[in-house]
């Protein structure tokens, strides 16, 4: 297989998981290479995501690493053999790579959780709302790139309203619903869109009201994307230097706990719809 100049986040995740399996088995890259009859450079390239690995070699490595989790091995094999060119590839070279990596991650998701405090989650945004957000970016985006970002965000909604939609839960703070992004009309339309989307059986929108006392469990937005098996789940966090993917088992466990705690105090879906409807009438 040829060498990749820029592995995708999914390819890097496969590489990381293979390295973790090797390290858990207590083997060096040189020892793993000997088991396959290759040199250690090839193992290093596989574990860096700069070169692919065949399903046969992946399963041989997993067997040598004494990995008994058949579902994990099958999931990794699927990642290794995936050749589908997703719709997001049309944006390669036009938008930052992180946008494409997020779309690819969502495409393979088995479920999706969002927690947001200042804005309506991206998958639930209307076109005007998204455009208003992107237009406030500093430094200011050129008109062409701004429209590409809006278009890309709208296409991402296939995750929840397409033919292969997945279970989706969004926990949205009251502050995010009250902040008037793009003005009164845009905000009112956005709330109406939230109500419409929340009626779908696979979509749950729950409000975190201001009235909660001592609510400090989560202080920043969180996107939790379910993998083929729990070990392949991913958390996406926005930071000052861009988007970061969190995938260590320990950290994933922390974020699962945080989500459950926030969900436990958020309003039930029915009461949340009533709450959003009331806010919309106030605009």
Kindly give the pairing relationship between strand 112-116 and strand 168-173.
parallel
Average pLDDT over the chain, rounded to an integer? 93
What's the mean pLDDT in 36-65?
94
What's the mean pLDDT in 87-91?
96
- Minimal CA–CA distance to 233: which of 241, 243, 223, 242? 223
Q: Is the pLDDT of residue 190 over 80?
A: yes
> What pLDDT does residue 6 have?
86
The whole-model pTM stands at 0.93
Q: Which domains does the chain have, with CATH numbers?
A: 9-81 (1.10.260.40), 89-282 (3.30.870)
User: C-alpha distances in angstroms, 216 versus 56, 65, 96, 115, 213?
Assistant: 48, 41, 32, 13, 9
pLDDT by residue (tens digit) across 110-147? 999 999 999 999 999 999 999 999 999 888 999 999 99
> What pLDDT does residue 217 have?
64
- Minimal CA–CA distance to 283: which of 171, 209, 150, 187? 187
Q: Is the pLDDT of residue 241 over 60?
A: no
Tokens linked to 269: 């879906």
Q: pLDDT tier at 3 (50, 70, 90 boundaries)?
A: confident
pLDDT by residue (tens digit) across 212-221? 876 766 667 8
Q: pLDDT tier at 74 (50, 70, 90 boundaries)?
A: very high
What count of Cα atoms within 13 Å lies in the side-chain half-sphere of residue 231? 15
> What pLDDT does residue 164 have?
84
Which three-class secondary structure string do you get for 200-222?
Answer: CCCEEEEEECCCCCCCCCCCCCE
> What pLDDT does residue 1 have?
54
User: CB-based contacts of 157: which residues, under 8 Å, 6+ apart?
Assistant: 123
Kindly give the pairing relationship between strand 168-173 and strand 203-208.
parallel
Do 173 and 165 touch, CB atoms closer than 8 A? no
Q: Is the pLDDT of residue 175 over 90?
A: yes
DSSP E strand boundaries for 99-138: 112-116
- Minimal CA–CA distance to 165: which of 216, 126, 200, 125? 200
Q: Is the pLDDT of residue 109 over 90?
A: yes
> What pLDDT does residue 134 have?
95
Which residue is associated with the tokens 């998958």?
A: 123
Instruction: Provide the percentage of residues in the chain whose pLDDT is more than 70.
Output: 96
> What pLDDT does residue 253 have?
96
CA 232 remoteness from chain centre: 12
Do 189 and 126 touch, CB atoms closer than 8 A? yes
């Amino acid at each position: 297989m040829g060498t990749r100049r820029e592995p995708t986040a999914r390819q890097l995740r496969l590489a990381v998981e293979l390295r973790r399996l090797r390290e858990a088995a207590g083997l060096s890259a040189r020892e793993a290479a000997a088991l396959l009859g290759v040199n250690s450079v090839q193992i290093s390239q596989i574990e860096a995501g700069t070169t692919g690995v065949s399903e046969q070699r992946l399963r041989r490595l997993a067997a040598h690493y004494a990995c008994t989790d058949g579902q994990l091995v099958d999931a990794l094999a699927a990642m290794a053999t995936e050749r589908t060119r997703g719709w997001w590839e049309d944006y390669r070279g036009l938008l930052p790579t992180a946008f494409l990596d997020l779309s690819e991650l969502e495409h393979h998701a088995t479920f999706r959780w969002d927690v947001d405090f200042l804005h309506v989650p991206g998958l639930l945004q209307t076109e005007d709302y998204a455009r208003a957000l992107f237009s406030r970016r500093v430094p200011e985006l050129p008109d062409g790139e701004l429209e590409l970002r809006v278009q890309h965000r709208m296409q991402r909604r296939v995750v929840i309203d397409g033919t292969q939609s997945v279970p989706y839960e969004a926990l949205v703070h009251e502050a995010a619903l009250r902040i008037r992004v793009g003005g009164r009309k845009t905000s009112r339309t956005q709330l109406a869109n939230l109500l419409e989307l929340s009626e779908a059986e696979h979509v749950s929108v729950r409000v975190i009201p201001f009235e909660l006392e001592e609510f400090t469990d989560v202080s920043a937005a969180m996107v939790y994307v379910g993998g083929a098996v729990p070990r392949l789940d991913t958390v996406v966090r926005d930071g000052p230097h861009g988007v970061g993917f969190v995938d260590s088992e320990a950290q994933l466990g922390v974020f699962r706990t945080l989500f459950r705690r926030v969900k436990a105090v958020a309003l039930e879906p029915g009461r949340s719809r009533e709450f959003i409807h009331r806010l919309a009438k106030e605009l």
